Amino acid sequence: MLDERKLDVLRAIVEDYVATHEPVGSKTLVDRHNLGVSPATVRNDMAALEEEGYITQPHTSAGRIPTDAGYRLFVDKLSTVKTLSPAEKKAISSFLGGAVDLDDVVRRTVRLLAQITRQVAIVQYPTLTRSSVRHVEVVTMTPRRLLLVLITSTGRVEQRIVEAPDDVDEQLIADLRSRLNTALTGQRLSEAAGALAGLPDTFQPADRALVTAIVTTLLEAFTDEGEQRIAVGGAANLTRYGDDFERNVKPVLEALEEHVILLKLLGEATHPQTLTVRIGHENPYEELATTSVVATGYGSKSEALATLGIVGPTHMDYPSTMGAVRAVARYVSQILADS
């Protein structure tokens, strides 16, 4: 177990390396940080940290840089999540609050998160299975064609066309619309099918064919998840890696093109109250061994509707990045709850 002085030295090394991207020497630590010990003592502490695997020397006669284990210890024990300033919070609230629908919320969130973290931002769209029904609308388009609209609690809108066997009776459509909303509003989509069981049998025999067609189409909308959607922004921020494109940047760019990989990266962030941080080789893909992922869920206090986060170099500013990811997720959760 490292004593407090060695932990202070590790914290200083991480902070300096994140700020300068240059290996850190003992003299630099003494000059920049009030460690209260001599350079010789700092050198001894650095030797101990290196032996424990928390720092390493990239080149002979160079200073030290943190390892994945060093960053992990920093994140777990040495850092505190940086809170945003009132001005930053107001700017986030204003920018996200101007969104007009779910797609706009996601687009704005990706753009905002990439800008304030200077990393690659990833936002997963809310999945249907975790949503509930907000409203069902049935609109007559032609005498024998209807538009079925499902609006979920996350602002997602699903539209389906229903072909009627005969000319539509507007009174029947009004009655059906009312019954559908009475039965479904507030129901989780994963459980809503049960609320529709037997509904066609409550109508007159002559109307049951149309009601059955509408109910069947609605059930398909409940379960038609399709490909899980994500939005990615800020890839240009990868230029902060420096000049080593082939080894660091190119593999990351290629991995970012695979949405399955991105969904798995965000997959551990299953709760809105918890930040997940995976550092370097903790990531399951070798292409991302030089990156870290900071992610969290967004939604209600008890359950995530989906996830969002960032991918960036391991030498990122963890306290600020973690604070930004957490704050943005909370604002998105609030916007979806109020919409």
8 Å CB contact between 45 and 13? no
Q: What is the pLDDT of residue 285?
A: 84
Please state the domain count of the chain.
3
Q: What's the CATH number where 25 sits?
A: 1.10.10.10
Residue 115's H or E segment, with its range, is helix 102-117
Q: The domain containing residue 16 runs over which residues? A: 4-77
12 in the same domain as 140? no
| Among 23-37, 232-246, 291-305, the least confident range | 232-246
Q: So what's the pLDDT on residue 301?
A: 72
Cα dihedral sign for 206, 212, 217, 218?
A: positive
pLDDT in tens, 14-65: 999 999 989 999 888 988 888 888 889 999 999 999 999 999 998 877 789 9
Residues 317 and 233 in one domain: yes
Q: What is the pLDDT of residue 249?
A: 74
Q: Which of 170, 197, 223 finishes a domain? A: 223
The long-range contacts involving 35-41, CB below 8 angstroms and separated by at least 24 positions, are 35/5, 35/8, 35/9, 37/5, 41/5
The confidence score (pLDDT) of residue 241 equals 64
Q: Are residues 147 and 71 in the same domain?
A: no
pLDDT value for 328:
94
Please give the average per-residue pLDDT across 108-113, as a whole number. Answer: 95
Structure tokens at 274: 């918890």
Strands (E), the chain: 55-56, 65-66, 120-124, 133-142, 145-152, 157-163, 230-233, 275-279, 291-299, 304-313
Same domain flag for 38 and 71 = yes
pLDDT at residue number 137: 94
Same domain, 306 and 209: no
What is this structure's pTM?
A: 0.79
Is the domain of 330 the same as that of 232? yes
Boundary (domain end) residue, out of 208, 223, 238: 223
Number of Cβ within a 10 Å radius of residue 74:
22
122 and 133 assigned to the same domain: no
Q: What is the pLDDT of residue 303?
A: 72
Is the domain of 120 the same as that of 196? no
Higher-pLDDT residue of 165, 75: 75
Lowest mean pLDDT of 70-84, 153-167, 228-242, 272-286, name the range.
228-242
In whole angstroms, give the CA distance from residue 278 to residue 113.
18
Query: Whole-angstrom Cα distance, residue 317 to residue 119?
Result: 10
Chain-centre distance for alpha carbon 336? 14
Are 186 and 39 in a shared domain? no
The domain boundary residue, chosen from 165, 190, 223: 223
Please check whether residues 104 and 149 belong to one and the same domain: no
- The amino acid present at 38, given as its one-letter code, is S
The pLDDT of 132-142, averaged and rounded, is 92
Cα–Cα dist 38/226, whole Å: 62
